[in-house]
Structure 1
Amino acid sequence: MRFYFDTSVLVAAAVAQHPHHVAGLAAYRQVMSGRHSGVVSAHGLAETFSTLTRLPLTPMIHPTEAYRYITESVVPHCETVSLQENDYLAMLESAAKAGLRGGILYDALQLRCAEKARSDRIYTFNLIDFVRLAPQLQDKIVCP
């Protein structure tokens, strides 16, 4: 099976102090073990880096640690999916018609990548927004 991981799960899996660490890591280990194929979005890698390096932890995660996590723990185990201009424009048109504003657009991009990759399961801790954005995928969207 192809498992798509959004930023919320990648961050939780990486940070032992995160409240969803155990669940996020358990979901991600299914891919690390080779039992299933992993998928992430290219922009999700940047989101993961951004989130990891600004978490209110003491000590904070250094950018080199965030980069190492992405390059050593995520990229080797997951196919990275990128969107093309037409994908972005189609998503923006849908968002405009739906009256969406702000950061939820990034969730819509994650979902477009998951669809493009033909993911069998979409892991997120942002279940409500993901299902609201893509009700046609609700059977695939799960919280670890």
Structure 2
Amino acid sequence: MKVLFDTSVLVPAIIVNHPQHSVCFPKIQSAKSRQIQGFISTHSLAETYSVITRLPVQPRISPQQAQSIVVDILQYLEGVPLVVDDYQAAIAQMATLNLPGGAIFDALIAQAALKAQVDILLTLNPNHFTRLGNAIAHIVQVPA
């Protein structure tokens, strides 16, 4: 089983006192134990760093701790880099669907899922992805 993890699942999996930790952590553990093949969009690496260094938790997560967390993530999730053609495909999909603005970042994560040919795009924000067309909508799942 090939699973691409959205940032919305990674952050709660990492942050023990996050309200969604109990449903997200086991999914990450499945990737760590190689029960599933885990993937992450390279965009989500930067997004995870950004989110965890801004969380209102005590003690705050320092940039150095966040870097260490990202390095650790790459031990069990394979990064899916996007190239110019991937960006063009995501932008074309956005234009076709008449979607403006920040939805492009979800489209890039969706493009990484398509590129890696994953079975599941795991997210806590299914509506961000199901609106991007049938190819993505069919693989979107929420951790349960």
TM-score range, shorter-chain basis? over 0.9
When normalised by structure 2's length, the TM-score is 0.93
RMSD: 1.2
* Aligned position for 1:82: 81
Letter in 2 for 1:125: L
Which consecutive residues of structure 2, in runs of 5 or more, have no partner in the other structure?
none
Task: Give a deviation string over 1:77-122, Cα, whole Å, max 9, x none.
Answer: 0111111101111211221232222221111100000110010111
Which consecutive residues of structure 1, in runs of 5 or more, have no partner in the other structure?
none
* Aligned position for 1:27: 27
- Does the 8 A contact of 1:111 with 1:134 survive in 2? no
Identity of aligned residues (%): 36
C-alpha distance in 2, partners of 1:2/1:45?
18
Secondary structure, in 3 states, of the residue corresponding to 2:131?
A: helix
- Does the 8 A contact of 2:124 with 2:142 survive in 1? yes
Q: Does 1:94 align with 2:93?
A: yes
C-alpha distance in 2, partners of 1:101/1:123?
23
Letter in 2 for 1:34: R
* Aligned position for 2:71: 71
Q: Does 1:127 align with 2:139?
A: no
Query: Any runs of at least 4 consecutive aligned residues in structure 1 with deviations exceeding 3 A, and if so which?
Result: none
* Aligned position for 2:61: 61
Secondary structure, in 3 states, of the residue corresponding to 2:118?
A: coil
